[in-house]
Amino acid sequence: MSSVQVQCTRCKNVFRDHAGRLQDGYSRQCPGCEVVLFFAEDSQHPFIKRAMRNARKVRKELREAEVARLLVPDSPAAPSRSSQGRRQAPGRSE
Ligand SMILES: [Zn+2]
């Protein structure tokens, strides 16, 4: 999952938002009370701090998963080698 839990600083409503968006300078409205929440790295609010920390962790995990996928040599789009090394004998053998 690439979303993290965010808790509203006003109504305490808990909702989810994408970890990729929850970065310094991001803001969004609470779906419950419609207050605008500001996400900043230097926020003093524990709810915001927690959401930022969780988002950072999820983004890191996503990045590591991406790297791991790129390192796997087995790719389904690998070029086919079936046209090489096997020659059909000309003429029918039957
Ligand atoms: Zn709210």
- Whether the CB-CB separation of 63 and 18 falls below 8 Å is answered with no
Task: Give the environment of ion ligand 1: residues with CB less than 5 A.
Answer: 8, 10-11, 13, 30, 32-33
Q: Bridge-partner residues for 18, per DSSP?
A: 3
Residue where the block lists tokens 């003093």? 44
Q: Is 83 inside any structural domain?
A: no
| Lookup result for tokens 């509203």 | 8
Residue 79's pLDDT band, with cuts at 50, 70 and 90, is low
Report yes or no on 76 lying in a domain.
Answer: no
Percent of the residues in the chain that have a pLDDT greater than 70, as a whole number: 77
The rounded Å distance from CA 58 to ligand 1 centre is 23
In this predicted structure, what is the pLDDT of residue 92?
66
Structural domain count, the chain? 1
76 residue type, one letter? P
Per the structure block, which two tokens stand in for 59?
């983004």
Give a yes or no: residue 22 inside a domain.
Answer: yes
pTM of the model: 0.71
- State in Å: Cα 60 to ligand 1 middle: 28
Q: What is the mean pLDDT of residues 86-94?
A: 64
Contact 57, 65 (CB under 8 A): no
How many angstroms is it from 30 CA to the middle of ligand 1? Answer: 5
Report the DSSP beta bridge partners of residue 85: none
Answer whether residue 45 is part of any domain: yes
Q: What is the pLDDT of residues 41-77, one digit of tens each?
A: 999 999 999 999 999 999 999 999 999 999 987 766 6
Supply the range of the domain harboring residue 46.
Answer: 3-70
